[in-house]
Structure 1
Amino acid sequence: MKYKLLGRSGLKVSELCLGTMGFGTEAGWGATKEQSFEIMEAYANAGGNFLDTANIYKLGTSEKIIGEFMHPRDRDYFVLATKYSLLDNKTNPNASGNNRKNMMRSVEQSLQRLQTDFIDVLYLHIWDNLTPIDEVLRGLDDLVRNGMVNYIAISDTPAWVVAKGNTLAELMGWSQFIALQVEYSLLQRTPERELIPMAQHFGMTLTPWAPLAGGALTGKYLRGDFGRIKEGSNRLNERSQSITKEVVAIAEELGVQASHVALKWTMQQPFQSIPIVGATKLSQLQENLKTIDVTLTPEHMQRLDEVSAIPLGFPGDFFKEEGVRLNNFGGFYDKIEKR
């Protein structure tokens, strides 16, 4: 396992992040505590140190299982990321949202479930369109200054909100977001319109969730294994099938699994990207870990980029049009430089 710096920080995390949303058997699915322990042990033995969870996952069971696993082990080896925002109880109207009251309550309860004194990376889970961003940033900075949180990050939030937040934090001397978690895969490339360019500008690492598009990019839907997917899902449409067929074709050329190709595509982007790979079975983790030994050629990347390309909309596509490229104004700039 190789390690990367997370955003504009000195925090070293493994190139694959272990997603733990399936730790716990609530709602009739997921990994038992024993299976979860087995998965985390194998991940750590492979050099993995980056765990992703949330207060809402399995109604807190995911955090509890992680806490029980880490308690007798070296806590400092692991980089533990969790989240706040979504409803985790129905006791009061402030038991959800981005507000400071919910933030402090959620973090205190997460620390108890995780059996730790600090959270390495705390994400705002989803933007609520209610709380002022300065309230969020000031609260998160207080958590960092109090030693309860080491770094802050943000998930599922409009690019303009994140940009405003990091700019405000820089101005005020507060902690800035170092990672951005969004859905990103060969089937979901819309973050390339605004979110990813914004993250690049601020030096934030992208941590894609659903990098395999719920398993669609493994090719299982092409084989008729529809599982729990809903009829009419975009992951079953003609475009998704065309993309998946290309993934499968490249996998066959390389002698690897389709999942390895789809994951590696997210890892070989020209920006810092660490995909989150979930597992409820040890075999799933073991299969995903093989991705680190796979390399896609420039030709493979081009084929995948072309088959999955999306319109960037305005102004992205406008900038690409002939005659609008910035270097076409070179003559104008030459005149300015000569003055």
Structure 2
Amino acid sequence: MKYTRLGSSDLTVSRICMGCMGFGDSTAGFHHWTLGEKESRAVMERGLEKGINFFDTAAAYQGGSSERFLGRFLADHARREEMVVATKFLPRTDEEVEGRVSGQEHVQAMLEKSLTNLGMEYVDLYIYHMWDYRTPLWEVMDGLTRVVRQGKARYVGISNCYAWQLAKANALAGAEGFVPFVSVQGHYNLIFREEEREMVPLCRHDGLAMTPYSPLAAGRLSRKPGVSSRRMEEDSYAKTKYGAGREDDAEIIARLGQVADRLSVSMTRVALAWLLGRTTAPVVGVTRGDQVDDAAAAVDLDLDLKDAAYLEEPYAPHPLVGVMADNRPV
């Protein structure tokens, strides 16, 4: 495994971040294909064996059971100071808005709940899961600053936002003395490259870490057309993200297979190697030990410029999908 600094923080992270959305009680949340605790622990143990020290989860994953599985596993198998744990919080609920719960109170309550789930005194990276259009940005930034000063979060990051929103938030942090965001977790992979328009240049200019999610497009960049998996069959949300662009993406996936065959490696390794050349640490969701092995091996694969250009050439603009399509101002 290789390691790097997470943006301007002092956190040293593995180049592969283990995404924990696939771990959790399958009856407790939106996804029905998630692993139970025993199976989740086996996959996480393989991650530790491969040198992964960066784990990403969220309060929203399977009713908090993903956080609980991760916390119990790390308590049994790792030294806390050697791990980098990230979790995320959602915007205020309708009930909180109607009850006039402030942004500061919401951030505090959500973090306390996550810390209880994880069984930890602090998280290394606390991530604003998606932009809250109904809560003043000042309140969110103030709330995040408070939990950092309490020692309950070391750094803060953001996910699912526009570049202008991130720039605005960090400008406010500079003006008000709030803690700034050091990382952004956006939707970015070979068949969805809209982050390159504004977010990638912003992060490069300001020294922000990029930890993209869905680096393998929910498995579509891991296998040739016609080969399926349980998640590809049952993950209805992923179908809404990638179903409409299937024809536009087919040529890229075909080329990915060609490059992988020529290099005698998996499509997963090539897709991740391409992204590793552009970002800090992709958040790779895994549900099997061999997937962990493949992801870890990608850090040692250096794509040459010709292969990268060959993979990139067919790309066509895509409309926003997933959270970014759903979570817009009204």
Q: Kindly provide the amino acid, as one letter, of the partner of residue 12 in structure 2.
A: K
Following the alignment from structure 2 to structure 1, what is the Cα–Cα distance between the partners of residues 101 and 166? 16
Gaps of 5+ in 1: 313-339
Partner of 1:52: 56
SS at match of 1:246: helix
- What is the CA deviation profile of residues 95-148 of structure 1, one whole-angstrom value per residue up to 9, with x for unaligned ones? 999922221111001111111100100000000212221211111111111101
Query: Could you say if the C-alpha distance between residues 39 and 229 of structure 1 is closer, same or farther in structure 2, counting changes exceeding 3 Å?
Result: closer
SS at match of 2:114: helix
Instruction: Say which structure, 1 or 2, has more relative contact order (CA 8 Å, 6+ apart).
Output: 2
- What is the CA deviation profile of residues 43-98 of structure 1, one whole-angstrom value per residue up to 9, with x for unaligned ones? 112111000000010110000011111223311111000001157x9975579999
Partner of 1:287: 294
SS at match of 1:285: helix
Partner of 1:3: 3
Q: Kindly provide the amino acid, as one letter, of the partner of residue 266 in structure 1.
A: L
Residue 84 of structure 1 is aligned with which of 85, 89, 95? 89
Following the alignment from structure 2 to structure 1, what is the Cα–Cα distance between the partners of residues 95 and 145? 27
Partner of 2:322: none
Query: Could you say if the C-alpha distance between residues 95 and 182 of structure 1 is closer, same or farther in structure 2, counting changes exceeding 3 Å?
Result: farther
Following the alignment from structure 2 to structure 1, what is the Cα–Cα distance between the partners of residues 74 and 91? 24
Say yes or no: does 1:215 pair with 2:219. Answer: yes
Following the alignment from structure 2 to structure 1, what is the Cα–Cα distance between the partners of residues 127 and 108? 13
Q: Kindly provide the amino acid, as one letter, of the partner of residue 273 in structure 1.
A: T
SS at match of 2:233: coil
Following the alignment from structure 1 to structure 2, what is the Cα–Cα distance between the partners of residues 206 and 252? 29
> Deviation at 1:221?
3.2
Q: Kindly provide the amino acid, as one letter, of the partner of residue 303 in structure 1.
A: Y
TM-score where L is the length of structure 2: 0.86
Contact 1:221 1:236 in 2 (8 A): no
Say yes or no: does 1:261 pair with 2:265. Answer: no
Number of residue pairs matched by the alignment: 309
Q: Kindly provide the amino acid, as one letter, of the partner of residue 304 in structure 1.
A: L
- What is the CA deviation profile of residues 124-179 of structure 1, one whole-angstrom value per residue up to 9, with x for unaligned ones? 00002122212111111111111010000000012111101111212222211010
Following the alignment from structure 1 to structure 2, what is the Cα–Cα distance between the partners of residues 80 and 311? 32
Larger radius of gyration: 1
Contact 2:20 2:285 in 1 (8 A): yes
Query: Could you say if the C-alpha distance between residues 122 and 165 of structure 1 is closer, same or farther in structure 2, counting changes exceeding 3 Å?
Result: same
- What is the CA deviation profile of residues 264-322 of structure 1, one whole-angstrom value per residue up to 9, with x for unaligned ones? 111012xx43111111222222222221222211111111121225499xxxxxxxxxx
Q: Percent identity?
A: 33
Residue 233 of structure 2 is aligned with which of 210, 227, 251? 227
Following the alignment from structure 2 to structure 1, what is the Cα–Cα distance between the partners of residues 317 and 165? 23
Query: Could you say if the C-alpha distance between residues 153 and 284 of structure 1 is closer, same or farther in structure 2, counting changes exceeding 3 Å?
Result: same
Q: Kindly provide the amino acid, as one letter, of the partner of residue 64 in structure 1.
A: R
Following the alignment from structure 2 to structure 1, what is the Cα–Cα distance between the partners of residues 101 and 66? 20
Q: Kindly provide the amino acid, as one letter, of the partner of residue 263 in structure 1.
A: L
TM-score where L is the length of structure 1: 0.84
Query: Could you say if the C-alpha distance between residues 93 and 166 of structure 1 is closer, same or farther in structure 2, counting changes exceeding 3 Å?
Result: closer
